[in-house]
Every structure is written in C-alpha cells, then in structure tokens.
Amino acid sequence: MALPHLHIRPLLLAAIVALSFVAQGSDNAHAQSSDDPLRFVHWLSSDARAIPTALVRTPPLRLGTAGLVIATTSAWDATLSREARSLGAEEFFRAAEEFGDADAMRPLAFVIFVGTLFEGSTRAQDAAFTSLEALALANLGTNVLKVAIGRARPFQDMGADSFEPFSGNSSFPSGHATTVFAGVMPWVFYYPEPSMWILGGLALATTSSRIVLAFHWPSDVLAGAFMGTTTAWWLSRRHGARHTESDGPSFEPITSAQTLGFRVRF
C-alpha cells in the first residue's frame, strides 16, 4: 500500500539531512606530505572518523535549500516526466546512462587511480583517489535511502506518490545520478578549468537519461546529484584540493580509420 503523499515528504527531507556529508568546519585530512603514498590510507581512516562530526555540523541553510528544491520538484514529477519522455533520442540517452552505472564506474575509477600513480602528478592522484572514495561513500548513502524510502519507479505505473519503505522499490534517490556526480565532480574541484566542465555536461546527460527512459522521477535525480556532489565536495575539501595550480589536464584527439576517441594527459 502506498503511503500518503503528505506524510512522505518530511521523510524525504529528513533522509537527505541525515545522509549528507557536507562539513561546516575547516578541518582537512591533508596533514601528510603531498607526495607520500601513505596519505591515501590516512585519508580513508581520517574520513571515516570525521563523518559523525560532518553530519552534526552540516549547514542548515544549505540543507534546507536543497531539501526545498527537491520537495518542490517532486510536486511536478509526473508532469516533468511526461515532458521528458516525449523528447525521444532514446539511443543517445541509453548511451549516456552507462556513465552512471556503479558497477562500471567504480572499476573505471580504480583503473584511473592506478594509472595516475605512474604519471607523477600528485594533484591527479589526489583527484582520482577522491573520486574513487566519493563513489563508494555516496553510493553507500544512496543505497540506504533507496531501501528506507521505497519509492516506485515511473515504469512501474504506480504514480509519483507511491512510497512503501522496505518494499524493494528503489527509485529515490537515483543511483546513476549519485554515481556520475560523485565520480566526476572531484575532477572539477581539483581542476577548475573550463575544459573540465565537459564532465559536468556528461553528468547532466546521464541524469537526464534516467528521466527520459522512465527509470526515475526528476526529484530522484536531483537528490542523487545532491548526494554525489556534496560527498565529492566534502572529500575534496578534506583532501586539500588545490585550486591555485594553472596546469590542467590536456585533451588530445585520437582519430584513425578504426578509432575515434581522445587521450587525457595530466
């Protein structure tokens, strides 16, 4: 049985508050030498201990604003979903949604991290590790919310107001939105150059695909994007993301009769 629409909205907001990893303080985990490989072990331990403090010190205004946007959007979920599904271009969106697949993105993030260890750029190493950790942490929070809230997906034809906690339904928040934003935003924070905003466009295409393909409601993807972005921001801040370096990654096209792609150099 679906829970009354009026009763579930406060639950959504409370869940977002409880599982947001945005810290108010200035503490960070970047105490070791920037090129010490053991810093990654230190960060994992330090970040785990810092989570309770981060939850307590989450800025109420920031959370309230995010919650208000998500709750307001949820009132228009059905209408916005119908409009999105009328866009067509399903092949494009099916390709874009793959970048939010956690089973693919986590191994990819690990491979990228290992690759940066051979590049000699500590900033690239830090960004890659932060991306990998953000994926794990944000997905953990999102999966807890999915189980606890139990919102039906659009393709189930149960309506946008169908909530049944612990029922197996898992629409809110969007795991794909969480994954793609948690994975790409550390790179944007570490390399705040215009070229890196290509990744932001990729994240938007991925989250939009979940609405167009009827896997999620708009408020689901907003909540997932919030989870992924705030987790990435919190970890990047703790790991001492440095925004003063001018040298960003370079993109080199690769073209041949059999290949079309690009190479990234740090």
Residue pLDDT, tens place only, 3-60: 444 344 444 444 444 444 333 333 456 545 567 888 999 999 999 999 999 888 878 8
DSSP symbol at 75: T
Kind of pairing between the strands at 260-265 and 250-255 = antiparallel
How is residue 61 written in tokens? 């205004």
Count of Cβ atoms closer than 10 Å to residue 262 Cβ: 10
CATH 3.30.420 fits 5-265, yes or no: no
In which residue are the tokens 């190493």 written?
125
This model's pTM is above 0.85: no
In contact, 164 and 90? CB cutoff 8 Å: no
Burial class (CB in 10 A: 0-12, 13-18, 19+), 55: middle
What's the rounded Cα separation, in Å, for the pair 237 and 27? Answer: 9
Q: What is the pLDDT of residue 37?
A: 81
